[in-house]
Chain A
Amino acid sequence: MSMDPDKSALMEADLVRMARQGDLASFEELVARHRDKIYARAYSMMRNEEEALDLSQDAWVKGWQRLAQFQGDSSFITWMTRIVINLCLDQLRKHKRQRAESIEAMEEDGGVERQMPVIHPNPTAGLERVELRERIDRALAQLSHEHRTVLVLHEFEELEYKEIAKRMKCSIGTVMSRLFYARRRMASLLAGLRREGSE
């Protein structure tokens, strides 16, 4: 349902331009168009509906306040996605500070993933798209915040190692290491889910 039929017919660039001039109704139309995507990104990183909802709404408030900084180098949704990712990363850092350091160190080293045999054959072969999505979602939920975040940024946001390191405020080596263990764990989890499904 659209709140303003005149706005719903407008191009995104026009809505952004009008919002930059202070038109809140245009900004509301942008929120309506992209709210699912922004929420989905927050949810994939936080795995908590309430937190994802709050962070996605905070991201829109920040987006409004920083509209002048949006130069149009990327699409509006890409720009907004970066804002919500940064908010999620800040939130995850807060969580991290609250966790015991021993657990954190274990996750950083990759734990059991290093000892795991290579998964063969492809654990996702032959799955329907919907089922594949569902299994990936279930497997992602079982990863640590650090491993999930690096996977989301690399596989869903398609960011390079350098960019991920910048956003996560860590070294490129840490990104590579986290990504490696995250993928190995995903392979193991997907294979496990496949076995469960076939039983």
Chain B
Amino acid sequence: MKHDFELKVQAWLDGELPDREARRMGELIAHDSEAAALAAELGCVRQAMFRQEAACPLGDSREFYWSKIQRQIQREAGVRPADGLPWYARWRRYMGPLAGAAALACVLLLAVVRAGSPSFDEISSTGDGMEAVTFHDQSAQMTVVWLQDKSAAAEDQPAPKIIRYEDEPGTVIELE
């Protein structure tokens, strides 16, 4: 028997042939003892297996079996199934962390801006026998420091020492 014919016998048995061809195959099998024997053998296996899958109960307890599934679900996708949520619910999940990050960025930005521009215009610092006054002019990008020695030895010298610093690094001009 040719293999193609064997496969057709099987397809006839499984109801996979179109009606017309199935009728023709039925007639052929009825008149061919070899084909009939093959159909009977295949049919027996088919019939024997029909809904005869062996019961195969799990040995693990319900809790133990579930625990691995639960861990994997929570690790891979979070508790909620992302695909099942509407778009606004999915966005809402990210809004909290995004808002927090934005607020933190604002605070940091403000801190950086404030640190960049000195908040003083004039500072006075006095040491032992020495007085220092600092003035910062932002428009001129200039810092002026007055130093005055008030110790007894210096009382005879009336004029204070003035030092002017340009804000550009490396340029220092001393004036008297």
User: Which residues on A are within 8 Å of B, measured CB to CB?
Assistant: 1, 3, 20-22, 24, 28, 31-32, 35-36, 39-40, 43-44, 53, 57-58, 60-61, 64-69, 114, 118-120, 122-124, 129, 132-134, 136-137, 151-152, 154-156, 160-161, 173, 176-177, 179-180, 183-184, 186-187, 190
Considering the complex, give the chain B residue whose CB is closest to the CB of A183: B45
User: Which residues on B are within 8 Å of A, measured CB to CB?
Assistant: 3, 6-7, 10-11, 14, 16, 34, 37-38, 40-42, 44-58, 60-63, 65-66, 68-70, 72-73, 76-77, 79-85
* CB neighbours of B51 from chain A (8 A): 156
- Total A-B contacts with CB atoms under 8 angstroms apart: 142
Considering the complex, give the chain B residue whose CB is closest to the CB of A66: B83
Residue of A22, A129, A136, A180 touching B84 (CB-CB under 8 A): A22
* CB neighbours of A60 from chain B (8 A): 69
The answer on a CB contact under 8 Å between A155 and B56 is: no
Secondary structure type dominating chain B contacts: helix
Residue of A24, A151, A161, A184 touching B73 (CB-CB under 8 A): A24
Given known contacts A40-B55, A176-B7, A186-B49, A118 and B41 CB-to-CB distance under 8 angstroms: yes
Report how far A120 CA is from B34 CA in the complex, Å.
12
The answer on a CB contact under 8 Å between A132 and B7 is: no
* CB neighbours of B65 from chain A (8 A): 31, 35, 57
Could you list 16 further interchain pairs (A-B, Cβ under 8 angstroms) beyond the known A1-B62, A40-B53, A123-B48? A22-B81, A24-B70, A31-B66, A31-B69, A35-B58, A39-B56, A43-B56, A64-B69, A67-B84, A122-B40, A129-B52, A132-B48, A133-B53, A133-B54, A156-B51, A186-B45
